[in-house]
Amino acid sequence: MSHTVITTTTTTTRPSDGVLNLGYTRTIPGLLKIGQILALLVAFLCVHCVRGWPNWYAFQYFEVVVLWFLIALIIFLLMHLFRLQAKMPCINWPLTEFFHYSVGSVLILIASIVASVKAGGVSALVTASVFGFIATFLMVVSLWTSYSVSCAPHQTGTFPPAPV
């Protein structure tokens, strides 16, 4: 008695030459960038829309720092979505993002500490400082993951000989 097995496989492929790289938004770095953008946007709007700041200079600093890094994160996200890094190979993009996250996490942490100290019980300013701390945490996580990509030693592809 002979048996015949017929196997059929179907593969579907999506064109990867499209303009948008929406798959990036489902990766961990993409989700971290979206979370950072949302946290910084909420922090900026909380400070920008409230009037009667207890300390004008402290919240002006907070607003400028948050807005600066919010714009930078939007630019980095758009670069990943439109695959612009491949069009500009002269710039080391992982190292650029590492530098951005290291400077951003320190400055946003300082701004959030100053904002939380100078909030004076105004709930919108307290909320802004909390979202500043959340953005700082997300930037530190991104800093750690970009460090492992850009600064960690890379394997050469040769494996040590197997023990005998």
- Residue-wise pLDDT for 2-18, tens only, equals 677 676 666 554 555 57
The pLDDT of residue 116: 93
Alpha carbon distance, N-terminus to C-terminus of the chain: 46
- Residue-wise pLDDT for 82-101, tens only, equals 999 888 889 888 889 999 99
Q: What is the mean pLDDT of residues 108-119?
A: 94
Structure tokens at 94: 């992982």
pTM, rounded to two decimals: 0.78
The DSSP call for residue 50 is: -
Residue 112 near residue 136, CB atoms below 8 Å: yes
- Can you give the residue ranges of every domain in the chain? 22-150
Side-chain half-sphere CA neighbours of 52 within 13 A: 5
Residue for token pair 């953008």: 37
Q: Residue 150 pLDDT > 90, yes or no?
A: no
Amino acid in position 67: L
The pLDDT of residue 12: 52
**What is the rounded average pLDDT for all residues in the chain?**
85
> pLDDT-based confidence at 51, cuts 50/70/90?
confident
Q: What is the mean pLDDT of residues 62-83?
A: 95
